[in-house]
Chains A and B, each alone.
Chain A
Amino acid sequence: MTAFVALALVLVAVVGTLVVVIQDPLRQALTVSLFGILLGILFFAVQAPDVALSEIVVGAVALPLMILLALAKIRGGTR
């Protein structure tokens, strides 16, 4: 159990760093979705199912959705 928590923590740190390092917002949107899912897994491992549910629906669905819609508007250009 502790090994699983430790693994989840390390993965969260790694993917969090990746989110910052990736400069292209489109790739970042998908990485942040993965980050949300990994955070959800971490929260499950630490016995916090309510928080994990929230983080998964928000971080994997709502947040990348808003980012992608904002990017679609931005890339549509001014016309």
Chain B
Amino acid sequence: MSVLAYGVAGWLLLVGLWGIVNSRNLVHQVICVSVVQAATYVLLVAVGYRAGAVAPVFAGVRVGTVAVDPVVQALCLTDVVVGTTVTALLLALVVQWHKRTGSLDPDQLTGRDESD
């Protein structure tokens, strides 16, 4: 089970990186960045999980019931917010880049013409 949980996080990281490296479209690249960020969410939340525990909300639950770790969840919340803002900025950059140059090819960002 640990292998599955942490493995999914590692897999998402590597798959997202593969998408970034291999992309032919700037918008596709930006979305792959958000997949890489999702890998960190999964890892953070997986680290804090306790089997058979309740959520760290004690409204109506007796204080002292075993709950999962709330600190990593707080970290993950901040992570989600920052991920959204990064994606918004990247998309705005992509829109302006497309307006100036008319192309969405990442290879043309370097100014060199790539041919396979």
* Bound CA–CA A42/B25 (angstroms): 29
* Bound CA–CA A46/B55 (angstroms): 8
* Bound CA–CA A17/B8 (angstroms): 11
Of the residues B28, B45, B98, contact of A51 by C-beta under 8 Å = B45
Contact B49 A47 (CB under 8 A): yes
Residues in A with CB closer than 8 Å to B98 are: 73-74
Of the residues A12, A19, A47, contact of B53 by C-beta under 8 Å = A47
Contact B49 A46 (CB under 8 A): yes
Main secondary structure on A side of the interface with B: helix
Given A10-B4, A28-B28, A20 and B15 contact (CB-CB distance below 8 Å): yes
How many of A's residues come within 8 Å of B, CB to CB? 39
User: Separation in Å of the A38 CB from the closest CB of chain B?
Assistant: 10
Q: Write out, one digit per residue, whether chain B residues 32-63 have a CB within 8 A of any chain A CB (1) or not (0).
A: 10110010011001101101111111000000
* Bound CA–CA A63/B11 (angstroms): 22
Q: Write out, one digit per residue, whether chain A residues 61-76 have a CB within 8 A of any chain B CB (1) or not (0).
A: 0110011001101100
Q: Which residues of B does A touch, CB under 8 Å?
A: 1, 4-5, 8, 11-12, 15-16, 18-19, 24-25, 27-28, 30-32, 34-35, 38, 41-42, 45-46, 48-49, 51-57, 67-68, 73, 76-77, 80-81, 83-84, 87-88, 91-92, 94-95, 98-99, 102, 104
Q: Please give 5 more A-B residue pairs, beta carbons under 8 A apart, in addition to A19-B32, A25-B31, A47-B54.
A: A20-B15, A23-B24, A32-B31, A58-B80, A58-B81
